[in-house]
Each structure stands twice: as structure tokens, then as C-alpha cells.
């Protein structure tokens, strides 16, 4: 049989591939790699954003470890992540399962559920949240109708944390889409077979759906943990990090040190420590779920 030669439509050359990805490589080097390395270099200086930086070794890192503000911000960030992520995974999974149940006009519902994710925490949302959660607001009125006492949402650390969590929980659209796509890949025969064997819906969910969603659940978990750890805009705009720094996340600390207090060297050191913390948590997640993930493959 005669061997056929295929010609590369863009012209075969040793460096063609490299040439084609050059724009990305340049962009990555300039906008990611360089700032990344520069940030570490700045973390070793007393740079204030204005004057020439002066090398001060690891002083910023030692200051950070002894700073009660940093410890508080780290604790708040972790608490926020541990509250938000499981709730968000549960809500997005529930919404995805409901939407996968052969409802008419699924596209419309999917869009409606996704809209909050697009809105983010912009000014209009902040105003809406104020309308909902300030005393005498809609949330209080609804609690009153149910015969429950009003809640100090903004005025207590736990209340303020809850309104930030609710804002992000409301934005469950992207996690839901991932679940929904994975649900559609589960063959219907599994459920039919389970039904024949007398397995109910709830049992099917726990014995078929949930195990088969293992990989996408893990993906969602990692993505949501990273996003939650980086939280900045919601507490910045809604609570200002208060009260009593109860919603003051590491993202806010970095922003304040960098832009309000002109402490750029320290802010960069915190950014690096934060990067290590997030990386560490993700690695732990990979390690503790390894066996389960291997089972799903």
C-alpha cells in the first residue's frame, strides 16, 4: 500500500508550533511570570510603591508571622472557605440534579440560575444586599412574618460573615454547570437497571450519581476552595471587613497594605505566603482524595 504524505496546511517547519504559541508565551512571561517573580523580589524589600526599594531580607515575612492582623485575616479566610465551599457544592449539585430531571425549558432555568454568577459583587448588588440585610430590611421582615426575631446581620461578625457567604452562595451557577454536564454523561441504563433491582431515587442518587460525579466534585471543590480563599470584593464592598475585622480576609489585608498603607514590600510578602497557603491546601486536598479519585477512573 502506498504511503500517503499529509501536508501541514499552515506550512510545516521545525519551529512552526513554537511560532504559533509565541503570543501566548510572551503574554504569559510578561503578565504572569514576570509579576510573579517580581512580587517575590519585592517581598524582600521595604518598597512603598513610591521610593526606591531597599533590600531588607526576610523582615517582611517575620513581621507577618508575628502580626495579629495577619493571623486574624488567615483565620477569617479559612473560616469563610470552610463555611462557603461545602454549602456551595451542595446547592449547585442540588440545582443541577433538579435541572437534569427532564424539566421543560431547562435552558431558561439554567440561564436564570447562572445570572447571579455574572452579576458578581458590583455596586448594584451591594445596594440590594443593604436593602435586604440592614435592620428592618427584607430579611428582617421575612423573619418577622415567620414569627422569628430580627438578626443583627451587619453588626456582628457571624452575621456579616453569613451575608458574604449568602452572596457567594447565590452565585452557584458555574459550579452547577459543571455538575450538570457531568450528570448528562451518566448513562440512563444505570438508573434503569437500579430501578429494576428495586432501588429508589434517593438510593440511586447516593449509589450511582454521587460516586460517578466524584471527579467533577473534586474539580469543583478545588476551584471553589481557590476562589473562596481569594475572596476580596464581597467583604470589601459589603462589610468593609468589619465588624471587628470579622470579615477581613487575606485579600483585603493585601489590598490595604498595598494601596492604603503604601506597604508594598509587606503586601508582596503576604501575597507569597498566601500563595503557599493556597497551594498547600490544594495539595492536601489532592492527597486526601487520591484513593477515592483513583476508584472513579
State the minimum distance, in angstroms, from the CB of residue 15 to another protein. Answer: 22
d(Cα 277, Cα 249) in Å, to the nearest integer? 13
Q: Give me Rg for the CA atoms of the chain.
A: 24
Cell numbers for 250, please give them: 487575606
Q: Using CB under 8 A, which of the segments 49-57, 114-122, 200-208, 273-281 binds another protein?
A: 49-57
134 binds another protein (CB under 8 A): yes
Cell numbers for 45, please give them: 524589600
Cβ proximity to another protein: between 229 and 252 the closer is: 252
Place of cell 494601596: 259
Q: Is 72 helix (H, G, I), strand (E, B) or coil?
A: helix
**What distances in angstroms separate CA 52 from CA 47, 222, 257, 268, one per listed residue?**
7, 39, 17, 15
Q: Using CB under 8 A, which of the segments 104-112, 114-122, 150-158, 288-296 binds another protein?
A: 150-158
Kindly write out the interface string for residues 238-267 of this chain, putting x where it contacts another protein by CB under 8 A and - elsewhere: xxx-xxxx---------x---xxxx-x---
Among 50, 145, 202, 287, binds another protein (CB under 8 A): 50
155 binds another protein (CB under 8 A): yes
166 binds another protein (CB under 8 A): no
Report the DSSP beta bridge partners of residue 55.
45
Q: Are 153 and 160 in contact (CB under 8 A)?
A: yes
Cβ proximity to another protein: between 179 and 236 the closer is: 236
What is the 8-class DSSP label of residue 100?
T
Among 117, 156, 174, 233, binds another protein (CB under 8 A): 156
How many residues touch another protein under the rule CB under 8 A: the total is 38
d(Cα 69, Cα 75) in Å, to the nearest integer? 10
The number of beta carbons lying within 10 Å of the beta carbon of residue 263 is: 20
139 binds another protein (CB under 8 A): no
State the minimum distance, in angstroms, from the CB of residue 256 to another protein. Answer: 8
Cβ proximity to another protein: between 214 and 240 the closer is: 240
Cβ proximity to another protein: between 16 and 135 the closer is: 135
124 binds another protein (CB under 8 A): no
State the minimum distance, in angstroms, from the CB of residue 257 to another protein. Answer: 10
Among 28, 31, 34, 206, binds another protein (CB under 8 A): 34
d(Cα 101, Cα 114) in Å, to the nearest integer? 18
Cβ proximity to another protein: between 82 and 259 the closer is: 259
> How far does the chain reach from its first CA to its final CA, in angstroms?
39
Q: Is 45 helix (H, G, I), strand (E, B) or coil?
A: strand
Q: Is 288 helix (H, G, I), strand (E, B) or coil?
A: helix
Residues in contact with another protein by the rule CB under 8 A: 34, 37-38, 40-42, 47, 49-53, 126, 129-130, 133-136, 152-156, 237-240, 242-245, 255, 259-262, 264
Amino acid at each position: 500500500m502506498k504511503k500517503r504524505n499529509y501536508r501541514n496546511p499552515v506550512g510545516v517547519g521545525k519551529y512552526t508550533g513554537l511560532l504559533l504559541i509565541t503570543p501566548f508565551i510572551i503574554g504569559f512571561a510578561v503578565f504572569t511570570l514576570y509579576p510573579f517573580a517580581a512580587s517575590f523580589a519585592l517581598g524582600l524589600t521595604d518598597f512603598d510603591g513610591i521610593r526606591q526599594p531597599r533590600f531588607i531580607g526576610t523582615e517582611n515575612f517575620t513581621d507577618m508571622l508575628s502580626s495579629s492582623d495577619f493571623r486574624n485575616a488567615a483565620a477569617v479566610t479559612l473560616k469563610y472557605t470552610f463555611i462557603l465551599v461545602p454549602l456551595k457544592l451542595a446547592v449547585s449539585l442540588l440545582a443541577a440534579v433538579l435541572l437534569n430531571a427532564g424539566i421543560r425549558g431547562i435552558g431558561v432555568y439554567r440561564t436564570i440560575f447562572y445570572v447571579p454568577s455574572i452579576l458578581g459583587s458590583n455596586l448594584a448588588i451591594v445596594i440590594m444586599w443593604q436593602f435586604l440585610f440592614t435592620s428592618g430590611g427584607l430579611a428582617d421582615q421575612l423573619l418577622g412574618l415567620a414569627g422569628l426575631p430580627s438578626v443583627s446581620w451587619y453588626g456582628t461578625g457571624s452575621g456579616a460573615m453569613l451575608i458574604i457567604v449568602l452572596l457567594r452562595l447565590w452565585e452557584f451557577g458555574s459550579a452547577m454547570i459543571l455538575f450538570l454536564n457531568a450528570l448528562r454523561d451518566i448513562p440512563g441504563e444505570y438508573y434503569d437497571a437500579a430501578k429494576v433491582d428495586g432501588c429508589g431515587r434517593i438510593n440511586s442518587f447516593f449509589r450511582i450519581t454521587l460516586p460517578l460525579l466524584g471527579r467533577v466534585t473534586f474539580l469543583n471543590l478545588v476551584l471553589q476552595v481557590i476562589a473562596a480563599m481569594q475572596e476580596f470584593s464581597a467583604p470589601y464592598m459589603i462589610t468593609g471587613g468589619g465588624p471587628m475585622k470579622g470579615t477581613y480576609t487575606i485579600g483585603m489585608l493585601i489590598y490595604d497594605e498595598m494601596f492604603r498603607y503604601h506597604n508594598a514590600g509587606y503586601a508582596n510578602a503576604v501575597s507569597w505566603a498566601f500563595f503557599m497557603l493556597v497551594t498547600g491546601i490544594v495539595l492536601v486536598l489532592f492527597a486526601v482524595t487520591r484513593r477515592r479519585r483513583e476508584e472513579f477512573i
